[in-house]
Amino acid sequence: MKTIKIAIQKSGRLNEKSVDLLKKSGLSFENYKSSLISPVNNFPLEILFLRDDDIPEYVQDGIADLGIVGENVIAEKQVDVTYLQKLGFGKCSLKLAIANHSDIKDLSGLNGKSIATSYPVILDKFLKENNIDAEIREISGSVEISTNLGLSDAIFDIVSTGGTLKSNGLKPFADVMRSEAVLIGKNGIAKDPVVFELLQRIQSVLRAEQ
Ligand code: PRT
Ligand code: ZN
């Protein structure tokens, strides 16, 4: 039987819940932090531990057959993959936020302004759909401090509790996208009997947790 590969986040917010879900699905494997690949002892599966940003392309290109990643990352990478299952963890929103004292009142107030983000593709699509002409400043992290530093007039970032926005003197301004972790597969892979079996197991774990 062919060994299927599933890519999950190596470390970060989705790692522990992804590992938990696979273990609850009856898979026995070592969660090696230092190695990139863990074989599963009791199922024809190998686990690849990757940066979340790499997972959509790895699955699209068939280097991994399956992946667990946030919908936000899939949307940003614009890949063509099959959504197999929403997983109910890693929930967050992508929001535009402005400084508490900002004079921006509505979406049209963003015209001519600059917006800092790590998600330029999702933001660009949203701005075009709303006929807003703003400058996108792509930065890779700590987006929330960019308005305080005078680098941008607004930010577009992931929000979950809203605590980070608040502690940086920002307020949410518009909701652009909701996201959670999902199981994705290479197109056509859903027909594979091993994938079918794994999906059944994952779905019964999710049902039991509801
Ligand atoms: O190293 P690697 O590239 O794999 O990881 P990463 O650093 O890019 O991602 P990571 O581990 O931070 O997040 C992985 C995924 O978790 C994201 O792509 C989202 O799908 C999801 N997720 C859920 C979140 C959050 N909640 C979240 N709160 N990702 C990031 N955050 C950030 C947010 O941007 C803010 O800066 O956490 C901070 C705190 O949020 P508040 O609102 O609770 O204060
Ligand atoms: Zn990442």
How many Cβ atoms are within 10 Å of 56's Cβ, its own excluded?
24
Return the pLDDT at 111: 98
Ion ligand 2 — residues with CB < 5 Å = 52-53
Residue-level pLDDT at 1: 66
CA dihedral 88, 7, 50, 20 (to 10 degrees): 50
Do 53 and 97 reside in the same domain of the chain? Answer: no
Residues 96 and 86 placed together within one structural domain of the fold? no
- Total domains present in the chain: 2
CATH of the domain at 50: 3.40.190.10
**Ligand 1: which of 9, 13, 18, 54 to mutate, most ligand atoms within 8 Å of CB?**
13
pLDDT digits (tens, 9 = 90+) for 77-118: 999 999 999 999 999 999 999 999 999 999 999 999 999 999
The answer to whether residues 44 and 10 belong to one domain is yes
Domain that holds residue 98: 92-178
Is the minimum distance from the CB of 164 to ligand 1 under 6 angstroms? Answer: yes
Contact 118, 75 (CB under 8 A): no
CA angle 115, 159, 22 (to 5 degrees): 130
Q: For residues 174 and 96, state if they share a domain.
A: yes
- Over residues 15-47, the pLDDT tens digits come to 999 999 999 999 999 887 677 999 999 999 999
Residues 154 and 118 in one domain: yes
CA 123 to the chain's CA centroid:
15
| pLDDT at residue number 69 | 98
My answer on whether 85 and 8 are in the same domain is yes
Q: How confident is the model at residue 12 (pLDDT cuts 50, 70, 90)?
A: very high
* 167 and 199 share one domain: no
> Is the CB of residue 147 less than 8 Å from the CB of residue 116?
yes
Whether residue 192 sits in one domain with residue 141: no
pLDDT of residue 96: 98
Question: Model ipTM?
Answer: 0.98
Bridge pairing between strands 181-185 and 135-138 = unpaired
CB of residue 87 inside a 6 A radius of ligand 1: no
Q: Are residues 167 and 121 in the same domain?
A: yes
Residues 98 and 154 occupy one common structural domain: yes
pLDDT tens across 116-158, in order? 999 999 999 999 999 999 999 999 988 989 888 888 999 999 9
